[in-house]
Amino acid sequence: MSDRVSDLVFGLDTFGDVPEDDSGALVSYAAAIRQVVDEAVLADELGVDVIALGEHHRPEYAVSTPETVLAGIATRTSRIRLGSGVTVLSSDDPVRVYQRFATVDALSHGRAEVILGRGSFTESFPLFGYDLADYDVLFEEKIELFVKLLDEQPVTWSGTKRAPLKDADVFPKTESGRLRTWVGVGGSPQSVVRTARYGLPLMLAIIGGQPKRFAPYIDLYRRAAEQLGTTAHPVGMHSPGFIADTDEEAKEVFWPHYRVIRDRIGALRGWPPIRRQEFDAEVEHGSLYIGSPQTVARKIARAVGSLGVGRFDLIYTAGAQPTSARMRTVELYGTKVIPMVRDILAG
């Protein structure tokens, strides 16, 4: 097996979607959070490399503070990396974000990582007192400060949307001396170049259409890093998916709940309701990785191979899929899909 294949990283991502129990009733938010912890523990036991939790402030999702849940997961796992996917830096304070993740890093013996993003939803801005008119400048200034914090040295910084810092030392420090930090990007060339400018790893959110559409962004990231004299790290990608014993079972369990959450999001963005034909086409040709272990593994291998990425994360929840089906997805991903992808790519 080549070094590239053996070095591939495989993760699982969730926004903490509130699931149904096996009777069809939605569980409580507290039970949904505990369910995420159970899924992470199983993923750890099965050898999945990373669990990443997204931040949302909407009724469909239970996880609003990923690092708090990750701290709980840290105490019940031993090897899996613990990340956010993403932390909405624009509506948070960089110092507090750094402190919280450095704390998770301590609890997990160095397994914490953060993926910084601008956020695909905007609820956090009014919730925490930020003006959406400042959407771009908030992220630009805050990522600049966060990158300075990564050096774990006293920081002097000033901007327009936060009080300045002068020789401010931030605690706790990490044992490794640096917190593993990515930037999540949904397809903005400016965001790709910014990530390269700071020399941070790039995580691409590929949630629709053919993955090969994102090849130019990966090329842009590498070219920008070369021109700016920074490091182009292996790129990651994350996409939605769901795994069951057969293709038909996976689609029939996933579709009705996915349709509900997709149409709720679509209503906010002016999209028409999704049709079953569109869903089936996305499963067949796009960026929904849904089916049996064999089907999903082949599709992941094609995407990873064509884009040359170093990490693939499966967003394994998208709606209120039942808890038992979610656990089965985690199980099949760890025991079957990941080994199959490695074998396919090894040739």
In this predicted structure, the answer to whether residue 66 has a pLDDT above a threshold of 80 is: yes
CA pair distance 158, 141, nearest whole angstrom: 9
Contact in structure between 52 and 83 (CB atoms under 8 Å): yes
CATH code matching the domain that covers 3-346, chosen among 3.10.20.30, 3.90.1150.10, 3.40.50.150, 3.20.20.30: 3.20.20.30
Question: How far is residue 88's CA from residue 120's CA, in Å, rounded to a whole number?
Answer: 9
Please check the confidence at residue 2 and state whether its pLDDT lies above 60: no
Within a 13 Å sphere around the CA of 300, how many CA atoms are in the beta-carbon half? 38
Question: Would you state the pLDDT for residue 197?
Answer: 98
The overall average pLDDT reported for the chain is 96
Q: Which helix (H) or strand (E) holds 345?
A: helix 338-346
**For residue 326, what pLDDT band results from cuts at 50, 70 and 90?**
very high
Question: What is the per-residue pLDDT across 159-183, written as a single tens digit (0 to 9) for each?
Answer: 999 999 999 999 999 999 999 999 9
Return the axis-axis angle of helices 189-197 and 215-228, rounded to nearest 10°.
Answer: 40
CB neighbour list of residue 227: distance below 8 Å, 6 or more residues apart:
none
In tens, the pLDDT along 299-325 reads 999 999 999 999 999 999 999 999 999
**What's the CA gap between 220 and 222, in Å, rounded?**
5
How many C-beta atoms surround the C-beta of residue 109 within 10 A? 11
The domain spans of the chain are 3-346
> 325 Cβ partners below 8 Å, 6+ apart?
242, 244, 253
Give the predicted TM-score (pTM) of the model. Answer: 0.97
Tens of pLDDT along 220-233?
999 999 999 999 99
Three-state SS string over 312-335 comes to: EEEECCCCCCCHHHHHHHHHHHHH
Give the pLDDT of residue 307.
Answer: 97
Give the per-residue pLDDT at 3.
67
Percent of the chain scoring above 70 in pLDDT: 99
